[in-house]
Amino acid sequence: MTETPDKRFQHRDIDWLNFNKRVLQEAADKSNPVLERLRFLAIFSSNLDEYYRVRVSQLRQIKKIKKSLRKKLALKPSKKVKQIIKDVKEQQIEFGEIFKHEILPELAENHIHLIQHKDFTKNQLTEAQDIYQAKIKDLLEPQLVDFDKKNQLFLENNTIYFFIAFENEEEAGVVNIPVNQVGRFIELKNSGEEHYITFVDDIIRAEIHEVFPQRKVEGIYQVKMSRDAELYIDDQFNGVLAEKIYESLEQRTDGQPTRLLYDAEMPKELQKKLRKHLGLGKIDMMPGGKYHNFSDFFSFPDPTDNPKLQYEALIPILHKAFESEEDYFKIIKEKDQLLHFPYMSFSYVENFIEQAAEDDDVVAIKISLYRVADESALTSSLLKALEKGKEVTVFIEAKARFDEENNITWGRKFEEKGANVIYSYPKIKVHSKIFLIDRIENGESIKYAYVGTGNFNAETSKIYCDHALFTAHKKITKELDRVFKVLEGELIIPRAKNLLVSPFETRREFTQMILKEIDEAQAGREAKITAKMNSLEDEEMIDLLYRANKSGVKIRLLVRGFTSLIAGVKGLSENIYITSILDRFLEHGRIYIFHNGGEERIFMGSADWMNRNLNRRIEVLAPIFDEDIKQELKEILQIQLDDNVKARVQDYTQKNEYVAHDPAHPIRSQYEIYNYLKKKHS
């Protein structure tokens, strides 16, 4: 434990790299199957691309603020960017070591060989030439770059290119690598039980003389540009906001450069020429390996079909109540029900919406959609409900980053079929995962509610650990109806006394609950706060936790991503213990438990303790009233708190050290939870 803290908050962008370091740890973990390790490298690469496009771009935007104002606000973007570059370089070196010296040899041991063009046999070279002529040649768009002419070259965001040095140093060549059209990996003919795969890049390398036939090639270097992904849109006019976003999506491909990743083997003089030609600063240049866009390894094939190379599939657990009775309305009206993904199937959610669409007694369905799947049973059921004449209200979040186009497209489909479609509000996002069904039973309106921690997306539900509450409890349904009235513009404030709804009650209620624990601790009584979230960044909440720490409140947090709170510091946070779990599934649930003098209060929903979740997003957290569900959530959370296999300690050291492991009693929480639920629902 450190004695003298020199700061109260860790910068979120620096600690985010600490999170991505944990992803790299999973790639390095030899207990993981080799193809899963490869996918963790893909996750690391994908995360880093988004980080540069979003977070680093924001730091770059801060640099445009006048220096005098930046000084007043204590903003030092250049210092942060330099720290980021240093940390990323170190991680990328480790990344290369894991890939070259661990994963490639293990793939080879399992008869999968990822080969470069220089390793092609005579027969493989002939095969590569045939593939080039038949599938690749016509997709290439070679360009010549004259270094004496500026602004001649534009590199699209996240697209990989070859930058080619010629004998004539006054010019260079650039050619796209058409991954979207032909895929990144090409399977060559196998030899016995040995399977050979090559990058499409290597087939182009082998035929580069065909691409630039009149020039002598001196070197071939892969490059990739990351560009600003933020859509800087004046959103004061709500009625046209969705259209403005839709029209502005091209900014994603031609935004400000935030990083040029290049092959570190590129000669320095050529690096300099390329940098100046693109109008980049030295800080924008990031050396990398021979291959970029490792996120493409999500699609790496397994020609052996060897089950040992991947995680063993977990058969979805059948939910006891939903399997016992076809009428979901009856089940939910009798008792609140809880689902857990990916341990259980998302089909239960889809089935309920389908039942609502078919049920003649259902008069209205209201739902908020943050990330809409391309095609799904859920969206089909909503369209069916419209066909059957039901009132359907769909709130579409048009500002869900990287999903704007798909969300707006679906919004238009719903509008065409007669739905009441509401798009984003100015200055605020709707991040809640909620729906409400209105059903007439014996002449009375009965409402059924859903509050979840994850998106309405069947595909992501297979890899995201989330929770979903179904309830007909009037205290929840009545207030959720008010939330939808806010979304529809009928109310300004939902006046919730039970739900926590941002940006209205959530901060105030969390503050009161923490202050209650402080009062209990100061009175010498037991005081505890236990919480699980994705990220912890809000400084007001962190200061409250520091204050609770000084009062003796025991604080146990599970934070998957970054945290700006610095734990384990004497006099500041010695009573705060934080772990982070990274495993085969992405931990995504949010659960908050306050001891409350022995009468525990438990909430679950969509909000993290981040400024945006408390102040600038419409979020919904539901109180857990059902005692069985309360116990179930507590037991699941306790299994995660006890994890000693995939949990890392998050404290002032930033070492990502694993929780002390007892070989005789290993607790790998995701598997323990699966077994717990399997037993409970057997």
Q: Report which secondary-structure segment, H or E, holds 49.
A: helix 34-51
Q: What backbone torsions phi and psi does residue 88 show, to the nearest 5 degrees?
A: -65, -40
Q: How far apart are CA 297 and CA 289, in angstroms?
A: 15
Binned at pLDDT 50, 70 and 90, residue 283 comes out as confident
Torsion of CA 119, 125, 130, 132, to 10 degrees: 40
Q: Give the residue carrying structure tokens 């990330």.
A: 371
CA 263, chain centre distance (Å): 27
**Is the confidence at residue 637, as pLDDT, over 90?**
yes
Query: What pLDDT score was predicted for residue 144?
Result: 92
Determine the pLDDT at residue 262: 92
Query: Which regions of 238-284 does DSSP assign to beta strands (E)?
Result: 257-263
Q: How far, in Å, CA of 139 to CA of 640, rounded?
A: 49
pLDDT exceeds cutoff 70 at 310: yes
Q: Please choose, from the candidates 400, 75, 81, 85, the residue with its C-alpha nearest in 3D space to the C-alpha of residue 229.
A: 400
1-102 against 111-302: fold identical: no
Place of tokens 């690749």: 136
Q: Nearest Cα to 232, choosing from 243, 253, 248?
A: 248
**Which tokens go with 80?**
């942060």
Q: Taking all residues of the chain, what is their mean pLDDT, rounded to a whole number?
A: 89
β-strand 171-176 against 185-191: which pairing, if any?
unpaired
Query: Cα separation of 493 and 501, whole Å?
Result: 10
List, edge to edge, every strand of the sheet that includes 185-191.
Answer: 112-115, 194-199, 185-191
Question: Which pLDDT does position 58 carry in this prediction?
Answer: 58
E-strand spans in 139-280?
143-146, 160-166, 171-176, 185-191, 194-199, 217-227, 257-263
pLDDT of residue 234: 42
pTM summary value: 0.89
- Give the distance, in angstroms, between the CA of residue 68 and the centroid of all CA atoms in the same chain: 36
Residue 151 has pLDDT above 80, yes or no: no
Query: Residue 226 has what pLDDT?
Result: 81
The pLDDT assigned to 51 comes to 82
- Arithmetic mean of pLDDT, 128-152: 90
Residue 254 has pLDDT above 60, yes or no: no
CB contact at 8 A, 451 and 311: no
pLDDT at 583 over 80: yes
| Residue 29 in this model has a pLDDT that exceeds 70 | yes
Cα–Cα–Cα angle for 586, 590, 592, rounded to 5 degrees: 145
Mean pLDDT of 185-202: 95
Q: Side-chain half-sphere of 626: how many Cα atoms within 13 Å?
A: 20
**What stretches of 99-152 show up as alpha helix (H) in DSSP?**
104-109, 122-131
Does the pLDDT value for residue 142 go beyond 80?
A: yes
What percent of the chain is predicted at pLDDT more than 90? Answer: 72
Q: What architecture is the 111-302 domain classified under in CATH?
A: 2-Layer Sandwich (3.30)
Query: What is the mean pLDDT of the segment spanning 82-111?
Result: 92
pLDDT band at 373 (very low <50, low <70, confident <90, very high): low
Q: What is the pLDDT of residue 152?
A: 72
Tens-place pLDDT, residues 153-164: 888 888 999 999
CB 134 within 8 A of CB 126: no
Where does the pLDDT of residue 255 fall: very low under 50, low under 70, confident under 90, or very high at 90 and above? low
Regarding predicted confidence, which is higher, 655 or 255? Answer: 655
Name the pLDDT band for 238 (thresholds 50, 70, 90): very low
The more confident residue out of 289 and 673 is 673
Sign, CA dihedral 337-341-344-346, equals positive
Helix (H, G, I), strand (E, B) or coil at 545: helix
pLDDT for the residue numbered 440: 98
**Weakest mean pLDDT among 59-73, 210-224, 532-546:** 59-73
Give the mean pLDDT of 506-534.
98
Pairing of strands 576-581, 647-649: antiparallel
Class at the top of the CATH hierarchy for domain 502-680: alpha beta
Q: Annotated active-site positions, please? A: 431
| pLDDT surpassing 60 at residue 124 | yes
pLDDT digits (tens, 9 = 90+) for 52-79: 776 665 555 544 434 443 344 344 556 7
Residue 47: CB atoms within 10 Å:
17
- Would you list the domain boundaries of the chain? 1-102, 111-302, 333-494, 502-680
pLDDT band, very low/low/confident/very high, at 538 (cuts 50, 70, 90) = very high
pLDDT at 288 over 70: yes
Q: Is 262 helix (H, G, I), strand (E, B) or coil?
A: strand
Residue 78 has a pLDDT of 65
pLDDT score for 405: 65
Beta-strand relationship, 554-559 and 528-533: parallel
Strands 185-191 and 429-430: unpaired
Q: pLDDT value at position 347?
A: 97
What percent of the chain clears pLDDT 70, i.e. is strictly above it? 88
CATH tag for 1-102 (out of 1.20.58.310, 3.40.710.10, 3.10.20.30, 3.40.630.40):
1.20.58.310
First to last CA, the chain: 45
**For residue 147, pLDDT beyond 50:** yes
Print burial letters for 485-508: b (CB count within 10 Å at least 16), e (below 16): ebbeeeeeebebebbbbbebbbbe
3-state secondary structure 52-114: HHHHHHHHHHHCCCCHHHHHHCCCCHHHHHHHHHHHHHHHHHHHHHHHHHHHHHHHHHCCEEE
Q: Classify domain 333-494 at the CATH superfamily level.
A: Endonuclease Chain A (3.30.870.10)
Supply the DSSP string of 514-526, one letter for each residue: HHHHHHHHHTTS-
Question: Which range has the worst mean pLDDT, 308-317, 349-358, 485-494, 556-565?
Answer: 485-494
Q: What is the pLDDT of residue 239?
A: 42
Q: What is the pLDDT of residue 248?
A: 45
At residue 554, the 3 state secondary structure works out as: strand
The string of DSSP letters for 569-606 reads BTTTTTTEEEEEE-SSSEE---EEEE-GGGS-EEEEES
In this prediction, residue 232 carries a pLDDT of 41
Beta bridge partners of 647: 581
Average pLDDT over residues 523-539: 97
